[in-house]
Amino acid sequence: MNYAQIDALLHREVIPAIGCTEPIAVSLCVAKACETLGTLPEKITVSLSPNIYKNAMGVGIPNTGMTGLPIAVALGAIAGRSEYELEVLKDADSSAVERAKDYLESADIKIDIDRQTKQMLYIRVEVAAAEDCAVAVIEGAHTNFTLVSRNNEVIFSATAEGNSSAAEQADESLTMRDVYEYATTVPLEQIEWLKEAEKMNISAAEVSFTGSYGHGLGRLMNDNAKVSIFGDTLFTKILAYTSGACDARMSGAMVPVMSNSGSGNQGISATVPVVVFGREKGVSEEKLLRALALSHLTVVYIKQSLGRLSALCGCVVAATGSSCGITYLMGGEFREVCFAVKNMVANLTGMICDGAKPSCSLKVTSGVSTAVLSAVLAVEQRYTTSLEGIIDDDVDKCITNLTNIGRNGMRETDKLILEIMTTK
């Protein structure tokens, strides 16, 4: 693979985000539509693919103390800036939040599920004021605008596949061997920017230890009073920091995280376990950066096949990346990294995604605990074989088996999950 192509892919998929990326993508689309309209709209109509709707129902919106789509829509109109992309609400201070709450009471806001779209990730926002209207559409990726129009005049139009040709070329032909070779041999200066992922995602965990966020799983595990239960171990610290960052993010803490493939939780799960392990073991900065590159690129590779949104919980994919990174930090090479992937696929395949919410920290913790276990087994040359279940001798085929189950086999599961969630 051409390193420039992989660089483009990583830079496209590993980006900062504030808040859960599904409602934030809705805020982004609203912000773009409002900017195009040129004034605060009197009416906002939002149409969403089922998976966007599912992932935005129960998650905290940054700095609001509220959950769900209505406040995300209102805040996008009041304070959103589309140039910030997945940090669209970073200027939303307490004053903006109060104005957004008032706007909810006065504006005509309608939010519907578009059950006809074939896109798993689809957001359409139409805004109107007086005689003017504007439309913005996001498809395929959380920041990928495919249509912007004002008064039925098209201002911008693109495809749902994105617009980075170098990254797209990498999407088509990446393999696990490419992932490993890139991470372990790329000039270090090309991945030094991943230090920002380390800084941001560890900071999110540390914020969670200082307050009451979500179910408080990370803070609970980090509490000295609970050492007698969990133990004062590296394993416990990995789980506490990873779940803590998720606690803060899912509860609407105004903290940025480095996301992966459109998901902050995936970015957290790909980063925090590797960083905590590397710091505790005193590895060199180069070794840690290469482990982070291996982890994040593994996640990106798997998500290219799975798709951004599915019925399969993203923690399975992200934890697979961190398992590879930890395996590398433990001295594993390509062979052992492949063992770690196989162990992960054999264990967590089938965990459902029932939307973004505070309890995602429980799933993240399950994924990361399995990641550590899989890495320890891998470096001991212990791994699941092709005689067992869906595992194949070829690691890329293993990944394809995982993503086929998540993308194709769980379609009906996805529909049933949404039905249950919307009829409670």
Q: Report the pLDDT averaged over residues 238-264.
A: 93
Please determine, for residue 165, whether its predicted confidence score (pLDDT) is greater than 70.
Answer: no
Model pLDDT, residue 171: 52
Both structure tokens of 164? 């980075």
Model pLDDT, residue 409: 93
Both structure tokens of 54? 């599912």
In the block, residue with structure tokens 């803060």 = 248
Percent residues over pLDDT 70 in the chain: 96
Please determine, for residue 101, whether its predicted confidence score (pLDDT) is greater than 50.
Answer: yes
The domains of the chain are located at: 18-157, 165-422
Strand (E) or helix (H) holding 168: helix 165-173
Candidates 364, 216, 232; CA nearest to 372 is 364
Q: Are 257 and 305 in contact (CB under 8 A)?
A: no
Q: What is the mean pLDDT of the chain?
A: 93
For 382-414, the pLDDT digits (tens) are 999 999 999 999 999 999 999 999 999 999 999
Please determine, for residue 223, whether its predicted confidence score (pLDDT) is greater than 90.
Answer: no
**Amino acid identity for residue 9 in this structure:** L
The values of phi and psi at residue 89, to 5°, are -100, 15
CA gap 138, 24 in Å, rounded: 12
Question: If pLDDT is split at 50, 70 and 90, which confidence band does 168 have?
Answer: very low
Terminal Cα distance for the chain, rounded:
48
Please determine, for residue 36, whether its predicted confidence score (pLDDT) is greater than 70.
Answer: yes
Q: In what order do the strands lie in the sheet with 43-48?
A: 108-113, 43-48, 122-129, 132-139, 145-150, 153-157
Lowest mean pLDDT among 81-85, 342-346, 354-358: 354-358
Please determine, for residue 270, whether its predicted confidence score (pLDDT) is greater than 60.
Answer: yes
Q: Report the pLDDT averaged over residues 100-111.
A: 95
Percent residues over pLDDT 90 in the chain: 82
Q: Report the pLDDT averaged over residues 258-280.
A: 96
What secondary structure letter does DSSP report for 408?
I
The domain made up of 18-157 is a member of CATH 3.30.1330: yes
Question: How far out from the chain centre does Cα 118 lie?
Answer: 21
List beta partners, residue 46: 111, 125
Candidates 334, 14, 11; CA nearest to 190 is 11
Model pLDDT, residue 1: 63
Q: Report the pLDDT averaged over residues 363-372.
A: 96
Candidates 348, 125, 373; CA nearest to 239 is 373
Q: Are 12 and 256 in contact (CB under 8 A)?
A: no
**Amino acid identity for residue 161 in this structure:** E
The CATH number, out of the four listed (1.10.1530.10, 1.10.260.40, 1.10.4100.10, 1.10.645.10), of the domain defined by the range 165-422: 1.10.4100.10
Orientation angle between helical segments 165-173 and 3-13, nearest 10 degrees? 100
